Amino acid sequence: MLLKYFYDQKLAHASYLVGCQRGGVAVVIDPGRDIDQYLAAAERDGVKVAAVAETHIHADYVSGARELADRVGAKLYVSDEGPDDWKYQYVDGYDNQRLHDGDHFMIGNVRFDVIHTPGHTPESISFVLTDQGGGADQPMGIFTGDFVFVGSIGRPDLLEEAAGMMGTAQAGARDLFHSVQRFKTLPDYLQVWPAHGAGSACGKGLGAIPSSTVGYEKRFNPALQHNDPELFVKYILADQPEAPKYFAVMKRVNKEGPRILGAGHRHAMLDVAGLSDAIGSGTVVDLTPSPEYAQGHVPGTINIPLEMLATWAGWLVDYDRPTYLICQPDQLEEAARVLQKIGVDDIAGGFDAESVKASGSAIETYANGSSADLVHSIETGDVQVIDVRSQEEWNGGHIEHARHHFLGRLPETAEQLPRDQTLVIQCLAGARSAIAASVLQAAGWKNVINLSGGYKAWKADGYPSVKDEPATVG
């Protein structure tokens, strides 16, 4: 048997290639959209990707299942559990098997037994692997998808928080409790292979270790310590991270079927003369490092540095309009791949950052100010502090008289901000607030200052903070 682990750091997403080398075939578990990595690995190890198995309809990235089915004819093994609203709609166009609790399928001599594990989503299933080709008659491990993570479990509120299906969080939490109790009956020695690691918004407190065991999780996973269903529900619904609004788009895309990208598609660099029209017709994202962007940028653009694109583009770009990029030419395809992973498919092209500067259109700036520079104006109320951190960070302490406007929801909540005051934008260390400054300027708030070093520098400089004041915007 062959088992390969793939990890997308930007999305905190884990996927797996499981092969039977004797049979020369392999299956990809929960593939991402960048399928070339799986095909290359399979070729190196002398197996063919013959199948794809998905634990559920994913919300945080575009699945590569359809791309693999279309490109290499991979058979799709997908859940047929859960309500009709969350059935796969595209798979009948491909060789497929819809799975239920108790089913199994074979990849060569490797057996996969299906367990229905609802809670994170109603259709969630897990795959228990047994290497029969190696002579084993007992399972080796379980692919848990977004059900059990290292140190955590999947959140049950995504359908309500991201997809707007009200009333599903409580029901999902109760389903999740029963799934957890079933998980606890599995042999302690089983390895646990989850679909996400630390940094994913699909749960709270995920560990950074790539795998675990059932026995270890039973002992040390906080979510598995609750035997009372009411206490469990209260625990699992509390303090979950903000659910990115693009998650609702991903659920729909992965249910209906992502667009086929095909092999070898490239994006064009565009003439800078078309930049003004691009700003009027779509979202223009400047990938320039924020300190450089602050010193001169094109009005109407937003700034998301490349290393932060996967985290924030899904919150801030308009999925209903084309997306353009201002970047170095060698960044265009990398950025496009990142955007396509979260379903931003209408990428109309890129503008060379150096040509943009040379055109003289980068005429807008904003200031960066230190805590010492700004403390007097903040304390006297001459400026308004806008804290763009998460709700959890805000609750842990914030600058007095600051207003809380989480960065991801800033395009919707900006209208609540004063237009007759200078806005001092603040996060933990200054990176998210720089993005927020660009979003506000693009929306018409021109008098903005980024607090250099953010809340961390404010506290390090000895300036006061407060706790437990309700946020102006949740």
Mean pLDDT of 454-464: 96
The three-state secondary structure class of 320 is coil
Residue 190: pLDDT band by 50, 70, 90 thresholds?
A: very high
Q: Are 233 and 170 in contact (CB under 8 A)?
A: yes
Kind and range of the H or E element at 368?
Answer: strand 367-369
pLDDT given at position 471: 47
Is CATH 3.40.250.10 correct for 269-358? yes
User: pLDDT by residue (tens digit) across 104-122?
Assistant: 999 999 999 999 999 999 9
The count of other CB atoms within 10 Å of the CB of residue 442 is 22
pLDDT given at position 182: 97
User: Which residue in 40, 42, 53, 39 sits closest to 19, CA to CA?
Assistant: 42
Residue 162: pLDDT band by 50, 70, 90 thresholds?
A: low
User: pLDDT by residue (tens digit) across 377-397?
Assistant: 999 999 999 999 999 899 999
pLDDT given at position 234: 93
* Architecture of the CATH domain 367-460: 3-Layer(aba) Sandwich (3.40)
CA pair distance 115, 303, nearest whole angstrom: 44
Domain extents for the chain?
A: 2-256, 269-358, 367-460
The amino acid at 269: M
Q: Does pLDDT of 164 surpass 70?
A: no
HSE, side-chain direction, 13 A CA sphere, residue 413: 17
**Encoded tokens for 66:** 């359809």
CATH, domain 2-256, list 3.60.15.10, 3.40.1050.10, 3.40.50.880, 3.40.50.2000: 3.60.15.10
Residue 421: pLDDT band by 50, 70, 90 thresholds?
A: very high
The amino acid at 437: A
Q: By CB neighbour count within 10 A (0-12 exposed, 13-18 middle, 19+ buried), where does 44 fall?
A: exposed
Mean pLDDT across the chain, nearest whole number?
93
Mean pLDDT of 137-164: 87
The count of other CB atoms within 10 Å of the CB of residue 43 is 11
Would you give the DSSP letter of residue 470? P
Does 269-358 match 2-256 at the fold level? no
The two beta strands, 403-404 and 383-387, are: parallel
The three-state secondary structure class of 396 is coil
pLDDT given at position 474: 43
User: pLDDT by residue (tens digit) across 255-293?
Assistant: 999 999 987 778 999 999 999 999 999 999 999 999 999
pLDDT given at position 246: 84
User: pLDDT by residue (tens digit) across 332-367?
Assistant: 999 999 999 999 999 999 999 999 999 999 999 999
User: Which residue in 71, 6, 4 sits closest to 265, CA to CA?
Assistant: 71
The three-state secondary structure class of 41 is helix
Q: Are 130 and 143 in contact (CB under 8 A)?
A: no
pLDDT given at position 133: 85
Mean pLDDT of 77-83: 95
pLDDT given at position 405: 97
Give residue 44's Cα distance to chain centre: 30
More confidently predicted of 251 and 312: 312
Q: Does pLDDT of 429 surpass 70?
A: yes
Kind and range of the H or E element at 411?
Answer: helix 410-413
